[in-house]
Amino acid sequence: MYIATKFNSRCEKVQGTTSLGLNAYRFYGSCKHCKGEFIFRTDPEHSDYVLESGGSRTYEAFKDADFAEAEVARAKAEEEGSSEAAALESKIYDTAEEMRRIEELGELRAINKREAKRNETIHAAIEKLTKSVEEENTSAIREQEEREFEEEFRQLKRRLQQAATPPSTSPDKTSILVTTAKPKSNGLNLGKLGISIKPKSALTGKKNSLS
């Protein structure tokens, strides 16, 4: 039968079999395939069960190893109890083993401390490098923004100066011609009336000549 297979069984208490105040129980069951009856009981002393009849138990190495270890420990305890020299030797061996384990534990703690310090140093270096790169990028961006602002300010100032300066006008050709063609005469010509007024200096000169 496979492990964890459910089956109906009859249970009874085994008289006179106890361990640490726990009673043993016997179970009667039948095989799922051949309908044959098998009987097994619990073993409170070893936290296991014992197959009494009707089949064979599958070999389990770990249970045999645990049982063998328990037997060795029991035999050792009996030997230490019967001989003081063996007990002292066992105590010295246990103390040396404990000291060795304490040293190994100290070495492991030192290794873990060095690893933790190394990791902290690496994290600090990475954080410092990241901060330096961020500061450089921020400085470069600030300088670029300042240059762009100065360039925009120059362009705006140039436009304002151009808007404030009045446009230069060239003299009219007609006025130039009129100015150059203006006659230099001592009298005033009134056009079609045929009246001309001579300047006072001319009249004075004539009067003086008559006198």
The answer to whether the CB of 40 falls within 8 A of the CB of 9 is no
Q: Measure the CA–CA gap between 12 and 48, rounded to whole angstroms.
A: 17
Segments making up each domain of the chain, as ranges: 7-58
Q: What are the helix (H) ranges across the chain? A: 61-82, 84-164, 173-180, 200-210
| pTM of the predicted protein model | 0.32
Q: pLDDT tens digits, the chain, 211 residues: what are they?
A: 777 788 888 999 988 777 777 889 999 999 888 888 999 999 888 788 888 998 887 766 667 777 788 888 888 777 766 667 767 777 888 888 889 999 998 888 888 888 888 888 888 888 888 888 888 888 889 888 888 888 888 888 888 888 877 655 555 444 444 444 445 444 445 444 455 555 555 445 544 444 4
